[in-house]
């Protein structure tokens, strides 16, 4: 998890620099940060290995690709026209500790 966390923070930091440049140009920009999302790797885990992942998510489930897609579609829509310069966590409340 250490390498994953370092890589994710690197992507967010790079995105912060890009957001600053785009703000100066007047373009809105967001960064999506998905949490545990059901993919082939997680799906292949036995239930006893998946259960701690589920317990770590306050909403009580692993996210789906559709959860991430819905957030991205919203961010790209006119409904989010005044949202800019933020990292949107699509993680079932994990980062917030909800």
- The pLDDT tens digits of the residues spanning 17-55 come to 776 676 667 667 777 889 999 999 999 999 999 999 999
Range of the domain at 75: 2-90
Establish if 66 belongs to a structural domain.
Answer: yes
Q: How far apart are CA 6 and CA 12, in angstroms?
A: 10
Q: How many domains does the chain have?
A: 1
4 flagged as catalytic: yes
pLDDT per position as a tens digit, 46-93: 999 999 999 999 999 999 999 999 999 998 899 988 887 788 889 999
Establish if 11 belongs to a structural domain.
Answer: yes
Sign of CA dihedral 44, 73, 27, 84: negative
Q: Is the pTM of this model over 0.85?
A: no
Q: How far apart are CA 9 and CA 31, in angstroms?
A: 12
**Residue 12: its pLDDT value, please?**
74
Establish if 98 belongs to a structural domain.
Answer: no
Establish if 75 belongs to a structural domain.
Answer: yes
Catalytic site residue from 2, 3, 4, 26: 4
């Amino acid at each position: 998890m250490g390498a994953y966390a370092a890589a994710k923070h690197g992507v967010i930091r790079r995105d912060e620099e890009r957001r600053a440049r785009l703000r100066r140009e007047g373009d809105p920009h967001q960064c999506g940060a998905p949490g545990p999302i059901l993919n082939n790797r997680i799906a292949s885990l036995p239930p006893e290995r998946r259960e701690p992942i589920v317990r770590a998510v306050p909403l009580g489930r692993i996210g789906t690709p559709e959860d991430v897609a819905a957030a991205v579609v919203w961010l790209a829509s006119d409904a989010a026209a005044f949202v800019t310069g933020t990292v949107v966590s699509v993680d079932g409340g994990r980062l917030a500790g909800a």
